[in-house]
Structures are given as C-alpha cells and as structure tokens.
Amino acid sequence: MSLNVIWFILFVIIISGYLILDGFDLGVGILHMFAAKTDTERRISLNSIGPIWDGNEVWLVVGGGVLFAAFPVVYAALFSGFYAAMMLVLLFLILRTVAIEFRSKRDQPRWRSLWDFIFALSSALLAFLYGVAFGNVISGVPLNQQGYIAINSVLDLLHPFALWMGVTTVALLALHGALYLNLKTTGAIQARVQKWTPLLMGAFAVCAALATVWMFIDQFPSALVYLQGWTLILPLLAALAFAGIFILERRGVEFWAFICSSAFVAFALFTLGAGLFPNLLRSTINPQYNLTIYNAASQENTLTVMLIIALIGMPFVLAYSAGVYYIFRGKVHLSPHSY
C-alpha cells in the first residue's frame, strides 16, 4: 500500500473522528432550545459537553493540518475557492465558543437567553455548512486546469443538492446529539430527548434516502462506484449501525445506542471516502483536472516523515482523549463550578 493511500485513509479516519466527537457537541447545540426548557436544564445541556467540547475541536485542526501537509494542492484549492465559506465556518466556531463561555457570566435571564440562542443557531449553521461542503465534494466543483475553483461567490456553492446535504447533516448531528444527551442526562430533559429521537431518526432516514436517490439519478461518480457488488460492504455496515441505534434505543441501552450512532457516522464517511477514491476534489469542468491522492500529494519523503510523527504522536492524543472521557463519564450533575 502506497503512502498516498495510507494518508488518504488516515485523513478520512480523522475527519470521521471529528464528526463523531464534535458532531454530538453540535447536535447538543442544535437541540439546546428544544430539549432544555429551564435555566437549570440548559446548564445541564451545556455541562454535558462542558469538559470535552474544546478537546473535540482539536480533531478539526488535525484534519486541516493533514490536508495542508499531505495534500497541499487540495488545501490551496479549498481555501482559495471556498474562502468566504471558510470564514463563515470560523465565525460560527467563534460564536459558539463565546456563547458557551459567556452564558453563565451573568444571572440575568435575557443575557442567558441571548447566548442560548447564539449557541443553538451557530451549532445548526455549522452543521449545515459542513453538509453543504460534503454536497459540493460529492457533486464536484468547477475546478480548472490551474487547480483553482472558479466561482463568483459563496452563493455558487448553494446549489440544490448541496443545500439538501446541509439539511441531511443537520438531521444526522441532531440525532447524534440526542443520543448523547440521552446518555448524559436524567429527568425531564432526558424524557424530551427520548421523545425526539424517533422523529430525528425518521427525518434523517428520509433525507438520506432522497440524497442517495438524487446521487444515482444525477449519476455522480461517487455513487456509481457502488453499483459494483463488493463496494456495498461499507454502506451495509452503516445500515446495520443505524438499525442498531433503533433497536438499542428502544431497549433503553443508552451507551451502546450512542456507540452505534458513532459507528454509523464513521461508516457513512468511509462510504463517502470510498466513493471518491482516488479523487479528493472532482472537477465538473473536465475529469482530467481532478485532484487525486497522487497529483495533489506532497513528496514521498514528506509523507514518510509525517507518518512517523503520526505513529509517535497519535497514541498520546488518543490516550488523553480516552482519559478525559473516562474521568467525566456518567450523568451530568451541576456544581458551583459548572457552566
């Protein structure tokens, strides 16, 4: 297996890890105004992610770093062509962080309600923008021979399929967040989340089914790959994980239902990655302009050094993350130091 393939696989795994970990953070934010009604309940909602949300976002930085070092041509194309979209993502990341930190600085109801709204809105818009990004990657972008994405404004990225993928991603992360809240809370907030979960599963299933049909009707290359029998293993594993969510959630097995949700997010991203392979960005102008893991990669010695550093450093990152989750396991209980 070549270094290019190894780094493609690692990049997909890292992005999957980010969507699993920060995905439930975003899901909690999306549901914040609906699942939590009182000030105490909203404090519980925030504190369910309080000790871990900033650590989860590290994986986004890692993913960006891998893209910059391993596939710099793709990094350059994305950050030049999608510059306005990237700035919007950065804005919503900042607003979400500020909302979490500022909300409890004052006791006034209006102050807290304002930051609750900003937290929920920025979480939903981040999830939506991520979905729009996935929609553009799947459908392809107007990538020219110079490796530049030829768009006039960010509105060019908001075509119908990308918008639908944005809605689908919001539904997915809301479901993921609901299963996490079910795991971390008790009482009225947990009861509301349990009531919302089947509705969110149904909404996502409909959105995902329509998106899949759309991809085959428009004959996206990333979908046509799955007309070959052997490639169906990844979407089948994703379907099994989704079925596991339904079965385990109905049985009240909170932890494993959330694990199945995490597995579903991972296999959904693996399915997308396998459909794109070996492309990283597909050109709608000319297939010869596609950026692949070969023509957009760094030199072999760079990939080798990066792999050595990753093999040394990643176990420490994983051990730290596992330790944090172990320390803050169990249901949320407010303390004087809570948000």
Lookup: tokens for 270? 């693996």
Q: Write down the pLDDT at residue 325.
A: 87
Q: Write down the pLDDT at residue 30.
A: 96
CATH number for position 201: 1.20.1630.10
Task: Identify whether 215 is part of a domain.
Answer: yes
Task: Identify whether 338 is part of a domain.
Answer: no
User: Which residue in the block uniquely carries the two structure tokens 């909302």?
Assistant: 99
Full pLDDT tens readout for the chain, 339 residues = 789 999 999 999 999 999 999 999 999 999 999 988 898 999 999 999 988 888 888 888 889 899 999 999 999 988 888 888 889 999 999 999 999 989 888 888 899 999 999 999 999 999 999 999 999 999 988 888 888 888 777 778 889 999 999 999 999 999 999 999 999 998 889 999 999 999 999 999 999 999 999 998 888 888 778 777 677 899 999 999 999 999 999 898 999 999 999 999 999 999 999 889 999 999 888 889 899 999 999 999 999 999 999 889 888 888 888 888 888 888 888 777 777
Domain around 97: 3-327
Q: Write down the pLDDT at residue 229.
A: 66
Contacts of 164 (CB under 8 A, 6+ apart): 135, 207, 210, 211, 214
Task: Identify whether 272 is part of a domain.
Answer: yes
Contacts of 314 (CB under 8 A, 6+ apart): none
Task: Identify whether 226 is part of a domain.
Answer: yes
Task: Identify whether 150 is part of a domain.
Answer: yes
Q: Write down the pLDDT at residue 317.
A: 83
SS3 314: helix
Task: Identify whether 187 is part of a domain.
Answer: yes
pTM listed for this prediction: 0.93
Total domains in the fold of the chain: 1
Phi, psi dihedrals of residue 292, rounded to the nearest 5°: -115, 175
Maximum Cα interatomic distance, the chain, rounded to a whole number of Å:
60
> Whole-angstrom Cα distance, residue 86 to residue 206?
29
> Whole-angstrom Cα distance, residue 111 to residue 98?
13
Sign of CA dihedral 154, 29, 57, 294: negative
Task: Identify whether 333 is part of a domain.
Answer: no
Q: Write down the pLDDT at residue 26.
A: 95
SS3 48: helix
Residue 45, burial from CB neighbour count under 10 angstroms (0-12, 13-18, 19+): buried
Task: Identify whether 335 is part of a domain.
Answer: no
